[in-house]
Structure 1
Amino acid sequence: MRVIISPAKKMNVDTDSFPVSGLPRFLPQAGQILKAMRAMPPGELQKLWKCNDAIAKLNVGRLRHMDLRQGLTPAVLSYEGIQYQYMAPGVMEAEQLAYLQEHVRILSGFYGVLRPFDGVTPYRLEMQARLPLEGFRNLYAFWGGRLAEALAAETDFIVNLASREYSRAVLPHLPSAVDVLTCVFGQRKDGKVLEKGTRCKMARGQMVRWLAENRIEKREQLRAFSDLGYHFEAGLSTENQFVFIEGGR
């Protein structure tokens, strides 16, 4: 089983808490992307990143001094978004961290796919960014089936906890032999399931923590998730999509 999750925009540097265990699998491709971005003027980069002046200035500086092989942070500690706050890897026990390293894969527009303790450096690049690369119109085309191929080589069962932006870089390319289970977190409203961005990120991070704490390995075991007031809703779920509803039954 492998669990795919999204990265976060905000990143930090932490070279002290835990050592990195290796370099990203697709480091040569990250180097290609870095070269292409360094060739762009600051104004074009800001348009690519869709950010304010302060964030653009920070990341232009990062690009100028970026080293993909030294001064690295474990990926799971580098991302600072809501999902990672609820995952809280910094306070996990050794067995839980080992579970993350074996089972969790972080999708990235810059690095492709990451193991939690692959060493990374802060960057800004969303998967949906329109960055042309060597004849490819965007990052989805650049990565093509490479990420799906890498995951399919590891497992025949994927739990999808990634956002649509990132999951679409993998799911369409997976061979039919790979079973995919997507988890949906929402609230009931007018007979429908309403997904709210922040609540979803919280639930995804909490589920990753729960998976690690309970060493979950099988599809059926995921039904037991009940953190943050969620419960599995059998009537709304299918074999390939588990729906968790927030609030009373």
Structure 2
Amino acid sequence: MRIIISPAKKMRVDTDTLAWHDLPCMIDRAEVLYDKLASMSYDELKRLWKCNDAIAALNVERLHNSDLRIRLTPAILSYEGIQYQYMAPGVFTDEQLIYVQEHLRILSGLYGVVRPFDGVTPYRLEMQAKLPIEGAKDLYGFWGSAIADQLYQETDCIINLASKEYSVCVSRHQKPGTRFITCVFGEEKDGKVVEKGTLCKMARGEMVRYLAEANAKSPEAMKDFACLNYVFSPAHSDESTYVFLQKKSQDSEE
């Protein structure tokens, strides 16, 4: 079983808390992308990144003063988004860190597939970026089936806690005889399950933590998840989609 999650735009450097173990398994392909970015002008990068001047300046400085092989931070500590805050890897036990290293995989526009203790450097490159390279019109074309191929070499069961921007790199290349289970965190409104972005990110982080604490070996373990007022809904779920609905508090019902 492998759990896939998205990266976060906000990243930090931490070379002291924990040591990184290995380089990402697709580092050679990452360097092709990094060299392409380094060859682009400030204006080209700002358009690619779709960001303001402050963010563009920070990431251009990083691009020209970083190296993908030295002064690295373990990925699990480098990403700082909401999902990672609720996962709270900084307070994982040794056993939980071992668990996520084996089971958790971060999907990245730059690195492809990243293990928690792979060393990374701060970068900005979303998977949906329109970056023409090596005859491909964008990163989906550049990576092709490589991300899915890597994951399915490791397992025949994938738990999808990633956003669609990243999960499609795997779902569109699913291998025969494998399981790909997407977790949905929402609330029921007018007969439909509605997801809210921030709450989903929070729940995804909590789910990773829950699975690590439970030392879960199968996706069925997720059905007992009960954090942030979410509960598994058998009526809304099937073999490829696990739906968790947020219960209304007593205060809102009164």
Question: What residue in structure 1 maps to residue 252 of structure 2?
Answer: none
Deviation per CA, 1:177-207, whole angstroms, max 9, x where unpaired? 2211110000111111110000000000000
3-state SS of paired residue (2:172): helix
Question: What residue in structure 2 maps to residue 209 of structure 1?
Answer: 209
Question: What residue in structure 1 maps to residue 120 of structure 2?
Answer: 120
Deviation per CA, 1:39-65, whole angstroms, max 9, x where unpaired? 111001001001000000000101111
3-state SS of paired residue (2:36): helix
Distance in 1 of aligned mates of 2:213 and 2:219: 16
Question: What residue in structure 1 maps to residue 77 of structure 2?
Answer: 77
Question: What residue in structure 1 maps to residue 51 of structure 2?
Answer: 51
Deviation per CA, 1:104-135, whole angstroms, max 9, x where unpaired? 00000000000000000000000000011111
Q: CA deviation at 1:174?
A: 2.1
Distance in 2 of aligned mates of 1:47 and 1:77: 28
What is the count of residue pairs matched by the alignment?
249
3-state SS of paired residue (1:95): helix
Alignment of 1:144-155 (within 5 A): 144-155=144-155
Deviation per CA, 1:6-56, whole angstroms, max 9, x where unpaired? 000000000011000100001011100011111111001001001000000
Is 1:142 the counterpart of 2:142? The answer is yes
Distance in 2 of aligned mates of 1:101 and 1:107: 14
Alignment of 1:99-248 (within 5 A): 99-248=99-248
Distance in 2 of aligned mates of 1:202 and 1:129: 24
Q: CA deviation at 1:92?
A: 0.6
Instruction: Tell me the TM-score normalised to structure 1 length.
Output: 0.99
Residue 97 of structure 2 aligns with an amino acid whose one-letter code is: L
Is 1:32 the counterpart of 2:32? The answer is yes
Q: CA deviation at 1:210?
A: 0.4
* Structure 1 vs Structure 2 CA RMSD: 0.9
Q: CA deviation at 1:168?
A: 0.6
Distance in 2 of aligned mates of 1:138 and 1:221: 37
3-state SS of paired residue (2:62): helix
Distance in 1 of aligned mates of 2:6 and 2:68: 20
3-state SS of paired residue (2:209): helix
Q: CA deviation at 1:72?
A: 0.2
Instruction: Tell me the TM-score normalised to structure 2 length.
Output: 0.97
